[in-house]
Amino acid sequence: MGDPLTQADIDREIADIGAAVAKAVAAGEPEPERVTRDYPPYRSSLLRHPRHPLILTEEAEVELRGPVFGVTDVTDLDRDLTLHHTGEPLGERITVTGRILDRAGRPVRGQLVEVWQANAAGRYAHQRDQHPAPLDPNFTGTGRCLTDDEGRYSFVTIKPGAYPWKNHVNAWRPAHIHFSIFGTAFAQRLVTQMYFPNDPLFPYDPIYNSVTGEAARQRMIARYDHDLSSPEWSLGYRWDIVLDGPSATWMEEGR
């Protein structure tokens, strides 16, 4: 055990990895599109990523299909996180909407989208979150909906606060909403985080920077959309999601 890990230590590690990526790109490598599972600045990733390469198999009859969800699995209120208690939650009311597409640009229809997030003060309604910020009795912070025929999802919620997380001294997560999305194939599964534009915490956060390609990081950031804002009511954000997945899910028609 050495000295406590500081933000400066983490900044240096993030910068070193960034410089290595920039050098590879300058040498003609494509910019990384995906997250890096082995990303040492995020200390919890050290013992939780495989060291063997993934085994490529095209024998995937099960994984090219996936679970189905229906009207029994959601209720009409699930998509409005501000209505889950008797009173109004505190914070900045927002709507978040967008489309879920596959890599061929086709809408992902009738699939389940789940979200969870901290409250406006940056506190999760979870026993293990002991950040000394107030819980909000009118906000749990979980929601779900099914995508429509255009692949659209939509939530009404409260803008989450930033929160500290002990990866290193003075580690703070940029504000984010956790998203879980099902595609039409189990092999298209995605769990990710939606970020808000211009967050000053981006450069300091190892989880955000574990996506080492700048263009790829931008794909995790929602866009403020004034046309989605509602007079005297809420601010609007738009975030489209593209599901990754085997080429079989986007080359072949009719799946």
Partner 1 sequence: MKPTPSQTVGPFFGYALPQAGGGDLAPAGHPDAVVVHGHVYDGAGDPIPDALLEFWQADPAGSLTGKPGSMRRDHVDGSFAGRDGVRFTGFARVATDADGHWALRTLPPGAATPGRPPYISVCVFARGLLQHLYTRVYLEPGTDPLLASLDPGRRATLLATPESPGVYTHDIRLQGDGETVFLDFG
Q: How many CB atoms lie within 10 A of CB 95?
A: 20
* Distance (Å, whole) CA 207 – CA 37: 10
Residue 48 as a binder of partner 1 (CB under 8 A): the answer is yes
Distance CA 114, CA 95 (A): 15
| Binding test (CB under 8 A) with partner 1, winner from 9, 199, 225, 244 | 244
Q: How far is CA 26 from CA 20, 29, 78, in A?
A: 10, 7, 47
Q: Evaluate whether 209 touches 141 at the Cβ level (below 8 Å).
A: no
User: 94 and 235 in contact (C-beta within 8 Å)?
Assistant: yes
**Catalytically annotated residue among 153, 173, 195, 208:** 173
Our CA angle for 136, 139, 145, nearest 5°, is 165
Residue 130 interacts with partner 1 (CB under 8 A)? no
162-201 positions binding partner 1, by CB under 8 A: 178, 180, 186-187, 189-193
Q: Which of 15, 16, 29, 44 binds partner 1 (CB under 8 A)?
A: 44
Nearer to partner 1, 77 or 230 (CB): 77
- Binding of partner 1 by 112 (CB under 8 A): yes
The least CB distance from residue 179 to partner 1, in Å, is: 9
* Nearest approach, Cβ of residue 150 and partner 1 (Å): 15
The amino acid present at 159, given as its one-letter code, is K
Identify which of 133, 154, 132 has the alpha carbon closest to the alpha carbon of residue 144. Answer: 154
- Is 173 an active-site residue? yes
Judged by DSSP in three states, 22 sits in: helix
Our answer to whether residue 178 is catalytic in this structure is yes
Residue in 1, 2, 27, 128 binding partner 1, rule: CB under 8 A: 128
User: Which stretch in 7-15, 59-67, 89-97, 222-230 sits in contact with partner 1 by CB under 8 A?
Assistant: 59-67
Q: In the complex, what is the shortest distance from the CB of residue 118 to partner 1, in angstroms, rounded to a whole number?
A: 8
